[in-house]
Amino acid sequence: MHEFTLWAPAATRVMLHLPGLDRREPMRLVADPALGQEPTPDTDGWWHVSVAEAGHGTDYAFALDGGDLRPDPRSPWQPEGVHGPSRVFDASLHPWSDGSWSGVDARGAVFYELHIGTFTPEGTLDAAIARLGHLVELGVQMVELLPVAEFSGVRGWGYDGVDLYAVHHSYGGPEALQRFVDAAHAAGLGVCLDAVYNHLGPDGNYLREFGPYFTDAHTTPWGEAVNLDDDGSTGVRSWILDNATRWFRDFHIDCLRLDAVHALVDSSPRHILAELSDAVDDLSASLGRPLGLIAESDLNDPFMVEGTAEGGRGMTGQWDDDVHHALHAFFTGETQGYYVDFGTASVLARVLKEGFRHAGDYSTFRGKHWGKPISADRHRGHQFVVATQNHDQVGNRATGDRPSSTVSSGRLAGSAALMLTSVYTPMLFMGEEWGALTPWQFFTAFESPELADAVRKGRRAEFGSHGWAPEEVPDPQAVSTRDASVLDWSEIDRVDGELDHAALLRWYRDLIALRRSSPDLLDDSFDAVSVTHGETWVAMRHGSFTTVVNIGPSAVTVDVPAGSVARLTWGSFEVADQLLLQPDSVVVLQA
């Protein structure tokens, strides 16, 4: 027996098709005005029918008012892709082995961002399970999966998903995600899932046929906004809220990373993020384990992590791109585009201490004043997630090149040291820990030739305006573009030029071990941090630890706390009353 339900408020007739059973069943309104039943916000527009013969594995689709067959907007399984029928998935069938799992607090945990399709050559969740041992040895605590929702084609980043309740068929489907989370928990790792609610992909997006999922009252970089505050938004909001809580409940996910929340335009009395935060808090209390919400926000506004009772959004944490920009620009020398206000040691020192470069001051790239300051009295460092690399900052470069392909190993080590001994919550991007040289490029496999060609031309035009020749920009649709982005695990045992991958991996492991074992480094009070700098060097003191990096062409002398001893070193140094640090070197001292 399975109860099929569907929200289709404008439909006058809905037919359920069951191709495997060779049956069609008319659906009925949950609250039918024709029968004198008064609809409520929870029942308005909902259709249902029970089918005794249906259950786990049954394929189905809906036809509205005699139209074409469409998959379920809440489809849990799309084995034939975005245009095929949905399939019933009974989440309760998985034999969970994580009954003793007490969860992991996202705040202060070491995150590791990975893309299932390129983490291994196979590109599946089951293949990724075989690599969990590497992450345990590395010392990370939270594995962050890029979006797994069903998108068009067999390969892609996942940010153009259209069936947000389904797990992509090429990754192994929903059962594979349950196996992955169960295995991660057995290994002592939490799992964070990237969820995209601010827009949907263009191919296979049939939501407009079902209801007012979008509104032209607001616009976003992707066009029409998801309808959070216009007519019919009650059903759309429940579609998002139910989706988020389902990942926690049915898949035992520990944290959600919410994509580009600044594009969730909502003028309702209660913002969707605040509503989601309160719902997740309630679920966390019910499940007896911590559940996290990490927001990607471009606003540079700490109200994102302030409590809902205080008028904030209630997020557990938020991404802080300013720290990435300051690290990247300082160590690579790139100051074009949105790096224009970054690149100096003074800016790096500021963000290591204060979090934001733009905290109400002028942003040259945006052409306006931007952001609000973080308060040491009201906010904590672990509420801000920082990175030296992530999928956006690598993949949205023309050729997807990583810093390891252009800067010295000493600079890679210095950037990692500042991130991992900082007051923030650190996040690594897959392969960063050994200085992976494989690029991570933008790739798609859209089934529509017209859409594929439009994306290809748009990508080349975008980077052509920055001086790249069309042939230099990888074709997103080419299989070779995805294949070039797959991690080469054999690099770990190689030396490429001056880059010793194994040595860098040991450096990351040692830094993470030091962070996790040192109470001073886990103190997330901004008052615990002070930073000094010269033109080519930065010294960050965090409790009893001092991390010093020098990227200049000459050795520098830096004042350090009396009695300091070296805990970790990369390059050459001497320490007495002062520290003498050679070029492209880094040292972590403890007083």
How many C-alpha atoms does 307 have within 13 Å on its Cβ side?
A: 4
Q: Tell me if the pTM is above 0.95.
A: yes
CB atoms within 10 A of CB 94: 17
In a domain, 55, yes or no: yes
Question: What are the tens digits of pLDDT across the range 86-124?
Answer: 999 999 999 999 999 999 999 999 999 999 999 999 999
Tokens of 230: 């216009």
**Helices and strands in the chain: count of H runs, count of E runs:** 15, 32
Contact call for residues 335 and 329 (beta carbons, < 8 A): yes
Return the higher-pLDDT residue of 466 and 188. Answer: 188
In a domain, 266, yes or no: no
Beta-strand runs (E) in 381-470: 384-387, 425-429
What contacts 270, CB < 8 A, 6 or more positions away? none
Tokens of 520: 């001073």
Choosing from 70, 93, 112, the residue where a domain stops is 70
Q: Which pLDDT score, from 0 to 100, does residue 471 have?
A: 86
The residue count of the chain comes to: 591
Alpha helices in 443-565 (DSSP H): 449-464, 479-484, 501-517, 519-522
| Total domains, the chain | 2
Contact call for residues 274 and 313 (beta carbons, < 8 A): yes
Q: Which pLDDT score, from 0 to 100, does residue 35 have?
A: 82
226 — pLDDT class (breaks 50, 70, 90):
very high
Contact call for residues 170 and 74 (beta carbons, < 8 A): no
What contacts 55, CB < 8 A, 6 or more positions away? 1, 2, 88, 90
Tokens of 54: 């249906």
pLDDT over 90, % of the chain: 94
- 343, with CB counted inside 10 A (0-12, 13-18, 19+), is buried
Question: What does the alpha-carbon distance between residue 331 and residue 349 come to, in Å, rounded to a whole number?
Answer: 13
CB atoms within 10 A of CB 399: 15
Question: What are the tens digits of pLDDT across the range 14-28?
Answer: 999 999 999 999 999
36 — pLDDT class (breaks 50, 70, 90):
confident
Of 120, 7, 108, nearest in space to 64 by CA = 7
Task: Classify the C-alpha dihedral 292-295-296-298 as positive or negative.
Answer: negative
Return the higher-pLDDT residue of 38 and 541. Answer: 541
Torsion, Cα of 359, 363, 366, 371 (10° steps): 10
The average pLDDT across 214-228 equals: 92
Q: Which pLDDT score, from 0 to 100, does residue 491 have?
A: 98
Q: 22-60 burial, b for 16+ CB within 10 Å, e for fewer?
A: eeebebebbbeeeeeeeeeeeebbbbebebeebeeebbb
Contact call for residues 589 and 576 (beta carbons, < 8 A): no
Q: Which pLDDT score, from 0 to 100, does residue 219 have?
A: 87
Question: What are the tens digits of pLDDT across the range 429-469?
Answer: 999 999 999 999 999 999 899 999 999 999 998 888 777 88
In a domain, 66, yes or no: yes
What contacts 382, CB < 8 A, 6 or more positions away? 107, 108, 317, 423, 424, 425, 524
Question: What does the alpha-carbon distance between residue 143 and residue 145 come to, in Å, rounded to a whole number?
Answer: 6
* H/E segment holding residue 471: none
Contact call for residues 173 and 183 (beta carbons, < 8 A): no
In a domain, 28, yes or no: yes
576 — pLDDT class (breaks 50, 70, 90):
confident
> Angle between the 272-287 and 233-251 helix axes, to the nearest 10 degrees?
30
Contact call for residues 18 and 1 (beta carbons, < 8 A): no
Question: What are the tens digits of pLDDT across the range 282-318?
Answer: 999 999 999 999 999 999 999 999 999 999 999 999 9
* H/E segment holding residue 300: none
* H/E segment holding residue 351: helix 345-354
What's the CATH number where 21 sits?
2.60.40.10
Question: What does the alpha-carbon distance between residue 578 and residue 333 come to, in Å, rounded to a whole number?
Answer: 27
In a domain, 64, yes or no: yes
The average pLDDT across 377-399 equals: 97
In a domain, 381, yes or no: no
Question: What does the alpha-carbon distance between residue 466 and residue 90 come to, in Å, rounded to a whole number?
Answer: 50
Alpha helices in 130-271 (DSSP H): 132-138, 173-186, 207-210, 233-251
Choosing from 30, 48, 70, the residue where a domain stops is 70
In a domain, 171, yes or no: no
Pairing of strands 255-258, 190-195: parallel
CB atoms within 10 A of CB 381: 25
- The residue to which tokens 């580009």 are assigned: 260
223 — pLDDT class (breaks 50, 70, 90):
confident
Q: Which pLDDT score, from 0 to 100, does residue 373 have?
A: 98
* Least confident among 281-285, 464-468, 471-475, 495-499: 464-468
Q: Which pLDDT score, from 0 to 100, does residue 359 have?
A: 98
Tokens of 188: 């002592």
Question: What does the alpha-carbon distance between residue 256 and residue 269 come to, in Å, rounded to a whole number?
Answer: 24
Q: How is residue 85 annotated by DSSP?
A: -
The average pLDDT across 336-354 equals: 97
How many C-alpha atoms does 119 have within 13 Å on its Cβ side?
A: 24
Tokens of 194: 């990237």
Choosing from 19, 43, 70, the residue where a domain stops is 70
Beta-strand runs (E) in 349-461: 362-363, 368-369, 384-387, 425-429
Return the higher-pLDDT residue of 529 and 461. Answer: 529
Q: Which pLDDT score, from 0 to 100, does residue 91 have?
A: 98
What contacts 408, CB < 8 A, 6 or more positions away? 498, 584
Question: What does the alpha-carbon distance between residue 322 and residue 147 come to, in Å, rounded to a whole number?
Answer: 23
Residue 42 has pLDDT above 90, yes or no: no
Residue 383 has pLDDT above 90, yes or no: yes
Question: What does the alpha-carbon distance between residue 352 and residue 354 come to, in Å, rounded to a whole number?
Answer: 6
The average pLDDT across 39-49 equals: 93
Q: What domain range is 535 assigned to?
A: 529-590
Of 475, 386, 511, 493, nearest in space to 436 by CA = 493
Question: What does the alpha-carbon distance between residue 481 and residue 432 come to, in Å, rounded to a whole number?
Answer: 19
Tokens of 568: 């970790």
CB atoms within 10 A of CB 465: 8
Q: What is the residue-averaged pLDDT of the chain? A: 97
How many C-alpha atoms does 493 have within 13 Å on its Cβ side?
A: 2
Contact call for residues 93 and 56 (beta carbons, < 8 A): yes
**Residues annotated as part of the active site:** 259, 296
Contact call for residues 315 and 277 (beta carbons, < 8 A): yes
- The residue to which tokens 């994102």 are assigned: 304
Of 93, 80, 13, 91, nearest in space to 49 by CA = 13
The average pLDDT across 224-238 equals: 96
In a domain, 104, yes or no: no
544 — pLDDT class (breaks 50, 70, 90):
very high
What's the CATH number where 554 sits?
2.60.40.1180
